[in-house]
Amino acid sequence: MTEVKEDNSMWFIIGGCIIAMIVVVIFLKGEKSEHLKSGTVAQLQSETFANLEKRKTSNNVTEAQKAGK
């Protein structure tokens, strides 16, 4: 009788996929805060808050202005 040799390449493929996913997760965790270092987010926040403040002050109309005086 001849023995049938089992093919274990499936386990190498599964192991390689798991290792690749771990590497991708580690890479993405390192890139997560890169956009904060450029200062663009802080600039956009300050512009947004300034625009909100302008809108808030322009909506505060006195009663005399509402009456058209």
**HEC letters along 23-36:** HHHHHHHHHCCHHH
The count of C-alpha atoms lying within 13 angstroms of the C-alpha of 6, restricted to the half-sphere facing its C-beta, is: 3
- Residue 3 covered by a domain: no
For the chain, what is the domain count? 1
> What is the C-alpha to C-alpha distance for residues 69 and 55, in angstroms, rounded to an integer?
22
- Residue 4 covered by a domain: no
Threshold 0.85, pTM exceeds: no
9-65 pLDDT tens trace: 888 999 999 999 999 999 988 777 666 666 777 788 888 888 888 777 666 666 666
Q: Per this entry, what is the length of the chain?
A: 69
Residue 69 has pLDDT above 60, yes or no: no
> What is the C-alpha to C-alpha distance for residues 52 and 59, in angstroms, rounded to an integer?
11
Domain that holds residue 23: 9-67
Residue 4 has pLDDT above 80, yes or no: no
